[in-house]
Structure 1
Amino acid sequence: MCKIVSLYNNKGGVSKTTTTFNLAVLLSQQNKKVLLVDCDPQCNMTEMFFAINEELSDPDQALPGTSIYDAMLPRFQGKQAEIDANNVTLSEHQKYKGLFLLRGDLKFSRAETYFGTAWNQAVTDNIHEKNTYVAFSRLLRALGRIHDFAFTICDVGPSSGAITRTVILSCDELIVPLVPDRFCYQAVQLLGQVIHEWIERHQVIASTLSPFGIEPFRGKPRLAGTVLQNFKVHGGSKVKESYTKWQDKILEEIKTSLVGQKGLRVKSNFSAKKPFTASIKDVEALAPTAQLFGRAIFDIEQEHTKDASSDGRMYYGSVWEPWVDRMEDYRNEINKLAKAIS
């Protein structure tokens, strides 16, 4: 059965989309068939996915495949009770075989209104809003069955609006990306409680669906792990003290706020005592270089460094070797996330 996963934090700037893309690539390289779903109207995942396709560099060029908005539109308009997943065309990555995308769409921001209305009205006898409420989860499950995906990984924005609620409740598991700073510390204080309240509201709505012949989705995502990232080190490996202080504060909030009775349910292999499933230090120039070529960070080739150097020359020897080491470290940390959701 296809597992639906999302990396989510209600704070922005935590490398969520970058980590999501690299996790999906690694899983595809492990012979897992993976679907990426770009649920963020900013469409950054879609840009990253198609960056390797030079013929699509023109912003006026139509992108292949069905967009998430076009896929959902028949339900929003009330033309279909359930989206026919067979009518949804997915795009396969040009380099990473087995990695597919349901692409984003700027117009998907309109879904905030549709999902918001469904969130408020699905508890009533309004059959249209009930069908809209379950439509996204139904679509993901249907795509997973039809295409035999091992994983569906959703990229969401940092908001806590109706689109995000719909996506997160449709997931089986969550990974929370973190950075060691004050703002992420504050976000972790509330994140578990916020999602817990979403789950409780979903259970109320779900109880009203069966009498109308609508099967509710589970709506109880579990925490599979967290990833601490974008911190800086000195002396080769020692984390800078300014980061460790916030790291320790966040660790305590994970134990007291993120998980527990009023927080997130956790997967059996998750330990609140050692909650950082992966730790990714600042990858510096690797991330923008990888984005230029539509590749995973751990798949940068030596010739790509021409675009990272100030004089357009390829990196060699003692300059290139640290890149290789950082790419391997990054792959190993992303693999820890892959194991966490497997």
Structure 2
Amino acid sequence: MGKIVAIANQKGGVGKTTTAINLAACLAILEQKVLVIDLDPQSNTTYGLGIQKDDVETSVYDCLMNESSAREAIMETETPNLFVLPSSIDLVGAEVELAHATNRHGRVQLLVRELQDDYDFIFIDCLPSLGVLTLNALTAADSVLIPIQCEIFALDGLGKLKNTIRLVRQNFNPELTIEGIILSMYDKRLRLANMVVEQVQNHVKDYVFETIIHRNSKIGESPSVQKPVIIYDAGSKGARNFLNLAHEFINKQHVVEHQTA
């Protein structure tokens, strides 16, 4: 049974989509079968994985609101072992439509139950807000992966998200855990960035991944060619960062399995 991981942070611009695309692709390169569910109506994850808007016949919106088959909606990417359940602009309306729907917080949970046995990992790329779609993702997930930008308000956003996770545990998903915190967009030349790394590691050391994602031009360029950075430029620092993160992520799963065995 595959692990379901929501990639979330209420703060925008912290690297959620970049993490979803590139961590998933690196895990796929390491022969893990991975699905990414794009739960953001901007569809940046869908586009960044090489899927053209006109090629999407059935989106995650149709699966959530019109009971379309999720299996039939899933699309292959150019990266072996990597699949995407695409988003569309229609998802904007889902926030309003779900507000008065039955089981409005459990729609994504029903969707992933249908798919969980087909993949090693299912990542859900969330919106940068605490709306009904993000709550759906957190209700469906086994754990939350939290990217944090190395800038001054990083800890403030983290505190709000941890409070949200606590509320989700109390009301919808008592088994939800924090998978880990990823420090992203790091520039070692900046004193502020180094201060943030030190602060985060001091406050939430047990959750922080050792791998830090540096600012890298290839990571920034890869969405323009609709490829993960490991496919766009495998020798770049950005690709090496995400490949190291993927190895660390897998090793963490093995440690947890050993502890619970």
TM-score normalised by structure 2 residue count: 0.87
Q: CA deviation at 1:141?
A: 1.2
Q: CA deviation at 1:160?
A: 0.8
Please state whether the residue corresponding to 2:55 is helix, strand or coil.
Answer: coil
Instruction: Quote the Cα distance in structure 2 between the aligned partners of 1:330 and 1:157.
Output: 21
Q: 2:197 aligns with which of 239, 247, 251?
A: 247
Instruction: Quote the Cα distance in structure 2 between the aligned partners of 1:139 and 1:40.
Output: 16
| One-letter identity of the residue aligned with 1:279 | I
| 1:292 equivalenced with 2:204 (yes/no) | no
Q: Is the 8 A contact 1:225 1:340 kept in 2?
A: no
Instruction: Quote the Cα distance in structure 2 between the aligned partners of 1:219 and 1:114.
Output: 26
**What are the equivalent positions in structure 2 for 1:79-98 lying under 5 Å apart?**
84-85=69-70, 88-93=72-77, 95-98=78-81
Instruction: Quote the Cα distance in structure 2 between the aligned partners of 1:324 and 1:251.
Output: 26
Please state whether the residue corresponding to 2:147 is helix, strand or coil.
Answer: strand
Q: CA deviation at 1:116?
A: 3.0
**What are the equivalent positions in structure 2 for 1:164-313 lying under 5 Å apart?**
164-202=134-172, 218=173, 220-234=175-189, 240-254=190-204, 271-272=206-207, 275-283=208-216, 285-301=217-233
Aligned length: 254
Please state whether the residue corresponding to 1:167 is helix, strand or coil.
Answer: helix
| One-letter identity of the residue aligned with 2:13 | G
Q: CA deviation at 1:164?
A: 0.5
**Shift in CA distance, 112/197, structure 1 to aligned 2, threshold 3 Å:** same
| One-letter identity of the residue aligned with 2:154 | C
CA root-mean-square deviation: 2.4
Instruction: Quote the Cα distance in structure 2 between the aligned partners of 1:338 and 1:220.
Output: 20
Structure-1 residue corresponding to 2:14 = 14
Q: Is the 8 A contact 2:149 2:185 kept in 1?
A: yes
5+ residue gaps in structure 2? 255-261
Instruction: Quote the Cα distance in structure 2 between the aligned partners of 1:64 and 1:36.
Output: 15
Q: CA deviation at 1:84?
A: 4.9
Instruction: Quote the Cα distance in structure 2 between the aligned partners of 1:84 and 1:63.
Output: 17
Please state whether the residue corresponding to 2:197 is helix, strand or coil.
Answer: helix
Instruction: Quote the Cα distance in structure 2 between the aligned partners of 1:176 and 1:199.
Output: 16
Please state whether the residue corresponding to 2:133 is helix, strand or coil.
Answer: helix
Deviation track 1:154-179 (CA, whole Å, cap 9, x = no partner) reads: 11111011110111121011111112
Q: Is the 8 A contact 2:24 2:36 kept in 1?
A: yes
5+ residue gaps in structure 1? 76-82, 119-128, 203-217, 235-239, 256-270, 303-322
Please state whether the residue corresponding to 2:23 is helix, strand or coil.
Answer: helix
Q: Is the 8 A contact 1:171 1:219 kept in 2?
A: no
Deviation track 1:86-125 (CA, whole Å, cap 9, x = no partner) reads: 5x331101x212211110011112121233335xxxxxxx
Instruction: Quote the Cα distance in structure 1 between the aligned partners of 2:164 and 2:237.
Output: 39
Structure-1 residue corresponding to 2:96 = 113
Q: 1:69 aligns with which of 47, 61, 64?
A: 61
Structure-1 residue corresponding to 2:83 = 100
Instruction: Quote the Cα distance in structure 2 between the aligned partners of 1:201 and 1:185.
Output: 24
Instruction: Quote the Cα distance in structure 2 between the aligned partners of 1:325 and 1:35.
Output: 25
Greater CA radius of gyration, 1 or 2? 1
Q: Is the 8 A contact 1:188 1:250 kept in 2?
A: no
Q: CA deviation at 1:338?
A: 4.0
Q: CA deviation at 1:152?
A: 0.9
Please state whether the residue corresponding to 1:196 is helix, strand or coil.
Answer: helix
**Shift in CA distance, 161/325, structure 1 to aligned 2, threshold 3 Å:** closer
| One-letter identity of the residue aligned with 2:220 | P
**Shift in CA distance, 198/333, structure 1 to aligned 2, threshold 3 Å:** closer
Q: 2:128 aligns with which of 154, 158, 161?
A: 158
Please state whether the residue corresponding to 2:109 is helix, strand or coil.
Answer: helix
Q: CA deviation at 1:219?
A: 5.1
TM-score normalised by structure 1 residue count: 0.67
Structure 1 vs Structure 2: percent identity of aligned residues? Answer: 23
Q: Is the 8 A contact 1:5 1:172 kept in 2?
A: yes
